[in-house]
């Protein structure tokens, strides 16, 4: 049993933070940021805007795109690591915001930047088990909650935003979420983690080295598992952490750069929202078309990493 994508939507906060804005508040330059990361802009949520606000806005747009209401959804899975509240889950709060009245289940997945792949993995399993007909997958993050403007090596890297995808059960195994693989290595905790005072602790160069090997590794694994090669894939949407990581991964896999969806230049790293936002962006802009096969590799804090294959 498989699935098919029947709706998508995204939400980005109004405020755009440029590299030039960073130049005014810390010892950095547009040139350094662009050269090391490929980032130009990122969106910053307003102080009173919460992760739930971002998630609910993206979810509402996905429902509108699908021509559905929240009560047509049987389960909500939300990838997020930046909720202001420890409980309840952002997923349940989204149900409340959108006026759900069916008592359908909702929960969050805390997979950091690999969160949306973990969420896709869950959705695939529920479809395979035949347990739910329609699943909404949300990726939502307010990464600015964790930014320390005294730490120039991390402050410039992240942005806020949310995306939502709606999948419906299908008897075809060749559409929607076709395959997923997720992995974790807790021994690499020190490389990248949140701190008790809600900051980001990251060894940038070590994280970079892991990212350029783990994302291609997950991508190769899933292609092999599905019995396909890079030639069969129409688009690759890598986790949008850094343009150099994306380009290096593509080179290792033998993917031409024209097959890669890039949003890191305008959204920066939105962690668990990144791939969902990037897919919504590519669909909205007619970059990805119906019937195309997408390879979705990601990595993040944990370390966690994985990949998904999706046919639109
Ligand atoms: C963070 C990252 C861009 C830094 O690039 P780098 O080439 O590894 O740079 P380094 O950390 O070695 O720092 C090089 C120099 O730039 C400086 N620097 C760091 N941030 C800077 C900034 N925003 N502006 C200007 N200079 C900066 C450092 O202080 C250092 O200076 P020094 O040589 O005088 O000590 C890069 O390591 C990276 O992208 N890592 C992966 C991060 C990531 O993707 N995290 C999310 C995972 S989901």
209-264 pLDDT, tens digit per residue, is: 999 999 999 999 999 999 999 999 999 999 999 999 999 999 999 999 999 999 99
Cβ of residue 28 lying under 6 Å from some atom of ligand 1: yes
Q: What's the pLDDT score for residue 207?
A: 97
Neighbours of 245 (CB within 10 A): 23
- Is 113 known to be catalytic? yes
Rg (the chain; Cα; Å): 18
Cβ of residue 81 lying under 6 Å from some atom of ligand 1: no
Cβ of residue 180 lying under 6 Å from some atom of ligand 1: no
Cβ of residue 204 lying under 6 Å from some atom of ligand 1: yes
In the predicted structure, residue 287 carries a pLDDT above the cut 80 = yes
Contact 289, 312 (CB under 8 A): yes
Which of 26, 32, 36 is the pocket-test mutation for ligand 1 (most atoms within 8 Å of CB)? 36
Question: Atom 5, ligand 1: which residue's CA is nearest?
Answer: 36
Can you list the domains of the chain with their CATH numbers?
2-170 (3.40.47.10), 176-311 (3.40.47.10)
In the predicted structure, residue 172 carries a pLDDT above the cut 90 = no
Could you give the CA distance from residue 165 to residue 173 in angstroms, rounded to a whole number?
Answer: 18
Cβ of residue 208 lying under 6 Å from some atom of ligand 1: yes
DSSP H stretches of helix in the chain: 19-25, 30-37, 51-66, 90-97, 115-128, 152-155, 204-226, 243-253, 264-267, 274-284
| pTM for this prediction | 0.97
- In the reported structure, the alpha carbon of residue 201 is separated from the centroid of ligand 1 by a whole-number distance in angstroms of 13
Angstrom CA distances, 22 to 128, 147, 160, 248, stand at: 46, 12, 16, 26
Q: What's the pLDDT score for residue 171?
A: 86
- Buried/exposed 54-65: b ≥16 CB within 10 Å, e otherwise: bbbbbbbbbbeb
Which residues, in sequence order, are CB contacts of 81 under 8 Å at separation 6+?
110, 111, 112, 115, 141, 194, 271, 272, 301
Question: Atom 30, ligand 1: which residue's CA is nearest?
Answer: 153
């Amino acid at each position: 049993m498989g699935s098919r994508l029947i709706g998508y939507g995204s939400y980005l906060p109004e405020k755009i933070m440029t590299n030039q804005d960073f130049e005014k508040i810390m010892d950095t330059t547009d040139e350094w940021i662009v050269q090391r990361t490929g980032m130009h802009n990122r969106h910053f949520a307003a102080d009173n805007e919460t992760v739930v606000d971002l998630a609910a806005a993206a979810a509402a747009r996905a429902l509108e795109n699908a021509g559905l209401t929240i009560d047509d959804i049987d389960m909500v899975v939300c990838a997020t690591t930046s909720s202001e509240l420890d409980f309840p889950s952002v997923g349940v709060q989204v149900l409340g915001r959108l006026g759900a009245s069916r008592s359908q289940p909702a929960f969050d997945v805390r997979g950091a930047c690999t969160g949306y792949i973990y969420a896709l993995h869950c959705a695939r399993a529920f479809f395979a088990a035949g347990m739910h007909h329609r699943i909404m997958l949300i990726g939502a993050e307010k990464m600015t909650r964790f930014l320390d403007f005294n730490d120039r090596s991390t402050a410039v890297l992240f942005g806020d935003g949310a995306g939502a995808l709606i999948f419906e059960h299908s008897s075809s195994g060749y559409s929607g979420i076709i395959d997923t693989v997720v992995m974790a290595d807790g021994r690499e905790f020190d490389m990248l983690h949140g701190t008790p005072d809600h900051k980001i602790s990251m060894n940038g160069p070590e994280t970079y080295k892991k990212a350029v090997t783990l994302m291609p590794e997950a991508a190769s694994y899933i292609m092999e598992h599905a019995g396909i090669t890079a030639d069969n894939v129409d688009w690759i949407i890598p986790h949008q952490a850094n343009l150099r990581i994306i380009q290096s991964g593509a080179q290792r896999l033998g993917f031409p750069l024209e097959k890669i969806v890039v949003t890191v230049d305008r959204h920066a790293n939105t962690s668990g929202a990144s791939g969902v936002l990037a897919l919504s962006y590519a669909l909205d802009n007619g970059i990805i078309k119906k019937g195309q096969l997408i390879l979705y590799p990601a990595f993040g804090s944990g370390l966690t990493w994985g990949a998904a294959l999706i046919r639109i």
